[in-house]
């Protein structure tokens, strides 16, 4: 059979593009990169913040990379909020009080005196009593996206000097949170605010008598148990209230599936911290060999608890949002006091 030259050329023309076309080139998309700073120093941050960052980086499939910085590494903790607004930092783990939040919520972050008794009180207050909506609304007003809050350890005292009565607080120079210091100053405590990583050295040099900053787990983890001698089992708050925040525009730009990943990482981190602190507080009180335990009798410590009631009244007078939050704390404390153990001591 004779095949014409015209038919051969025509067939080659049809086949040519499919045969000769260069393969498609896939360009890898650059990952979204965040700079994230925590209030915690490196030793504590390993437990309270790094697990969240590791979770995100391990599961983002190369679409997102978060670089973690510890306390004061990019900016001082007291400037975290401003840095977040400017976009110098993309996301933050801190309490409202330490990072100088320009909202009515500042006084309630960290340790608001006697607002909580246990670590699980914090998620209950946010998820069942309305604090979540208040935090979300107030931070939206100042251009920052609040993501989630959780509890951590109680606010006990670790000191060089013994505390066995309320009178022993008088004259103690302690590293503590702004609101906690404001409350404790009525008992003669001299509150000091210095960079987190400087606190241990300040005790060694005699500038500090100790800390009213954490529970015993943190004391052992960060080295404070190595420079102080006593741990007071009485506390002024049952749980630290801290949150995760992100620059509003950076959050808006994040794809929905990565937003879900970030939230899943944060929730997993909350669960990890709950058991890490809860177990650590018990184990180190029972078996720790660095700090001697001391206690103020309950009937005498009630003086400090009564002072907190007056403090709450003063805070409630500072504004409508303050009044609303204090009202929530009062309602919740009425509930757990009626419920009794294990919700109360």
Q: How far apart are CA 152 and CA 238, in angstroms?
A: 9
On whether the CB atoms of residues 275 and 217 are closer than 8 A, the answer is no
The full set of domain ranges for the chain reads: 32-153+239-287
Three-class secondary structure assignment of 134-147: HHHHHHHHCCEEEE
Q: Are 155 and 211 in contact (CB under 8 A)?
A: no
pLDDT profile of the chain (345 residues), mean per 10: 42 41 53 98 97 98 98 96 96 97 97 96 98 98 97 97 98 97 98 94 98 98 98 98 98 98 98 97 98 98 97 98 98 96 87
Helices (H) and strands (E) in the chain, counts: 13, 11
- List, in order, residues 6 or more apart from 315 with CB less than 8 Å away: 107, 322, 326
* Interacting residues of 46 by C-beta distance below 8 A, sequence separation 6+: none
Q: How many residues does the chain have?
A: 345
Smallest CA-to-CA distance from 177 within 77, 34, 42 is with 77
* 32-153+239-287 belongs to CATH 3.30.160.60: no
Q: Reading across the β-sheet that carries 156-159, which strands appear in turn?
A: 190-192, 173-176, 210-214, 156-159, 230-232, 292-294
Report the first-to-last Cα separation within the chain, whole angstroms: 102
pLDDT score for 28: 55
CB atoms within 10 A of CB 31: 14
**Which residue from 254, 245, 109, 105 is spatially nearest to 177, judged by alpha carbons?**
109
In whole angstroms, give the CA distance from residue 37 to residue 27. 31
**Residue 190 token pair:** 């001299």
Burial class (CB in 10 A: 0-12, 13-18, 19+), 306: exposed
Question: Alpha-carbon distance 241 to 129, whole Å?
Answer: 15
> What does the pLDDT read at residue 23?
45
Report the alpha-carbon distance of residue 50 to residue 69 in Å, rounded: 9
**CA gap 214, 212 in Å, rounded:** 6
Q: Output the six-digit token pair for 261.
A: 């990943």
Q: What is the DSSP string of 76-98?
A: -GGGHHHHHHHTSSSEEEE-TTT
Q: What is the distance between the alpha carbons of residues 221 and 273, in angstroms, rounded to a whole number?
A: 13
The answer to whether the beta carbons of residues 238 and 116 sit under 8 Å apart is yes
pTM of the model: 0.89
DSSP sequence for 205-256: TTS-SEEEEE-HHHHHHHTGGGT--EEES--S-S--EEEEEEEHHHHHHS-H
CA 300 from chain centre, in angstroms, equals: 32
């Amino acid at each position: 059979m004779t095949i014409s030259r015209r038919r051969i050329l025509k067939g080659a023309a049809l086949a040519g593009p499919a045969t000769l076309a260069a393969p498609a080139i896939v360009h890898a998309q650059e990952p979204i990169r965040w700079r994230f700073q925590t209030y915690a120093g490196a030793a504590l941050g390993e437990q309270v913040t790094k697990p969240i960052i590791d979770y995100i980086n391990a599961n983002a499939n190369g679409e997102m990379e978060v670089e973690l910085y510890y306390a004061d590494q990019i900016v001082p903790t007291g400037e975290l909020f401003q840095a977040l607004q400017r976009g110098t930092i993309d996301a933050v783990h801190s309490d409202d009080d330490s990072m100088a939040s320009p909202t009515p919520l500042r006084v309630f972050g960290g340790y608001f005196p006697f607002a909580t008794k246990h670590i699980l009180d914090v998620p209950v207050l946010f998820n069942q009593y309305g604090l979540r909506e208040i935090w979300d609304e107030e931070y939206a007003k100042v251009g920052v996206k609040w993501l989630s809050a959780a509890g951590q350890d109680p606010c006990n005292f670790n000191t060089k000097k013994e505390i066995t009565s309320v009178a022993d607080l008088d004259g103690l120079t302690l590293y503590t949170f702004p609101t906690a210091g404001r409350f404790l100053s009525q008992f003669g405590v001299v509150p000091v605010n210095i960079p987190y990583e400087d606190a241990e050295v300040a005790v060694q040099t005699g500038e500090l008598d100790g800390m009213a900053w954490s529970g015993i787990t943190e004391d052992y983890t960060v080295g404070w148990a190595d420079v102080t001698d006593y741990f007071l089992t009485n506390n002024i708050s049952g749980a630290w209230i801290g949150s995760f925040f992100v620059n509003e525009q950076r959050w808006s730009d994040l794809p929905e599936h990565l937003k879900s990943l970030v939230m899943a990482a944060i929730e997993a981190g909350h669960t990890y911290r709950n058991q890490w602190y809860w177990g650590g507080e018990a184990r180190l009180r029972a078996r720790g060999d660095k700090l001697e335990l001391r206690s103020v009798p309950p009937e005498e410590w009630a003086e400090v608890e009564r002072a907190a009631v007056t403090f709450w009244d003063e805070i409630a007078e500072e504004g409508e949002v303050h009044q609303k939050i204090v009202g929530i704390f009062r309602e919740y404390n009425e509930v757990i006091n009626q419920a009794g153990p294990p919700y109360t001591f």
